[in-house]
């Protein structure tokens, strides 16, 4: 699942293709027409579906459509690779322990929107990113993998975001692998 440029989605897809992750990306779902993630899916030959959240009556209705798409695609594990929507208990319950999210902070610090801006405003010297299982409380699920990123003198939102994003690309495939192994989806 992706809402934006899709670089985290592509990092997972490439990890699968290069054998670093013994999995297959069966489907990408996006919620924004023409977003970069859908363009990356086309280039990578990965099926992509649009579920524009603006066309649904509620978050629950969107999540029911997502569940139907994932079940049709026989998805075992769902990865929120920059999905900028809060999911409901319906989706979480349909994939218990099988919904992985990436977040641009060292959780439990700076949960929710604009974690990079929150870190800069707080004046911290260290932040990072976290891949975690999704729970009903936003950004509060079991942590799978984290990576620390120093906040450098003179950092702004763009420069710090870029360094965090680089680490997200590294840890998200690791978290997917760990979650899949814990569920018995991967062996060895």
Among residues 51, 103, 132, 169, which one is catalytic? 103
Which of the 8 DSSP states describes residue 176? H
Q: What are the residues whose beta carbons fall under 8 Å from the beta carbon of 75, sequence distance 6 or more?
A: 26, 27, 95
DSSP state of 6: -
| 121 prior amide bond cis, ω within 30 | no
Residue that the structure tokens 């900028």 belong to: 84
Rounded to an integer, what distance in angstroms lies between the CA atom of residue 82 and that of residue 66? 15
State whether residue 156 is helix, strand or coil: coil
User: Alpha-carbon dihedral of residues 103, 104, 109, 110, nearest 10 degrees?
Assistant: -100
For 148, the enclosing helix (H) or strand (E) is: strand 143-150
Active site residue 53: no
Nearest partner of 96 among 148, 137, 133, judged by Cα: 133
Rg, C-alpha atoms of the chain: 16
3-state secondary structure of 86: coil
Which amino acids are annotated catalytic? 103
């Amino acid at each position: 699942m992706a809402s934006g440029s899709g670089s985290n989605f592509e990092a997972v897809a490439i990890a699968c293709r290069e054998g670093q992750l013994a999995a297959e990306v069966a489907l990408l779902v996006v919620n924004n027409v023409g977003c970069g993630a859908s363009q990356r899916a086309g280039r990578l030959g990965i099926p992509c579906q649009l579920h524009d959240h603006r066309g649904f009556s509620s978050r629950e209705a969107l999540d029911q459509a997502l569940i139907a798409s994932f079940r049709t695609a026989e998805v075992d594990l769902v990865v929120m690779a920059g999905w900028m929507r809060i999911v409901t208990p319906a989706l979480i319950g349909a994939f218990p322990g099988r919904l992985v999210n990436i977040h641009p902070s060292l959780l439990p610090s700076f949960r929710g929107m604009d974690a990079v801006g929150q870190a800069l405003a707080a004046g911290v010297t260290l932040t990072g990113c976290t891949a975690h299982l999704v729970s009903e409380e936003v950004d509060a699920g079991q942590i799978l993998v984290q990576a620390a990123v120093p906040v450098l003198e003179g950092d702004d939102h763009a420069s710090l975001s870029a360094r965090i994003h680089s680490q997200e690309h590294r840890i998200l495939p690791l978290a997917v692998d760990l979650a899949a192994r814990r569920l018995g989806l991967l062996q060895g």
